[in-house]
Amino acid sequence: MSEDRYQLGLEKLAEIDGEQGQKVVDALQSIAPEFATLMIEFGFGDIYSRPGLDLKSREIATVAALTALGNAAPQLKVHLHAALNVGCSPKEIVEILMQMALYAGFPAALNGLFVAKEVFAERGIELVEAP
């Protein structure tokens, strides 16, 4: 374990994902604790810590990719929280998810929107005003 990359990654993980990311790390402890270390070092220490792209743009890219791939609902949930944490508005997130219909089809977009519905409910976000 490289102390610096790990420490840098841990701070970036906390900044982006908050407690959601820590839950994933915890869940790995009994099966592959070194994978959690590699994910923090490489994912958050090496990639998310790079200059050249702001965190909000990074989360827009991640939310779009996970929605399009369509086989990563738990990770999409983590990154919808992350996107809100780093400055995406709920409305912006809905726009990203809707746009994915063009590139990955309506089912991928629909499934992404229903994950967002859960995330918004957990955070008490109401998107559509009462009449």
Tell whether residue 87 is a contact of a second copy (CB under 8 A): no
Q: Which is nearer to a second copy, 11 or 92 (CB)?
A: 92
Query: Least distance (Å) from a second copy to the CB of residue 60?
Result: 5
What's the residue count for the chain? 131
Distance CA 59, CA 7 (A): 21
Q: Which is nearer to a second copy, 14 or 98 (CB)?
A: 98
At 127 the three-state DSSP class reads coil
- Residue whose C-alpha is closest to residue 37's, from 74, 8, 17, 76: 8
Tell whether residue 25 is a contact of a second copy (CB under 8 A): no
- Residues 38-57 binding a second copy (CB under 8 A) are 38-39, 41-43, 46-48, 50, 52-53, 57
Do the beta carbons of residue 37 and residue 67 sit within 8 Å? no
CA angle, residues 120, 56, 39, in degrees to nearest 5: 90
Contact residues for a second copy, defined by CB under 8 A = 2, 5, 24, 27-35, 38-39, 41-43, 46-48, 50, 52-53, 57-58, 60-72, 74-75, 91-92, 94-111, 113-114, 116-117, 120, 126-128
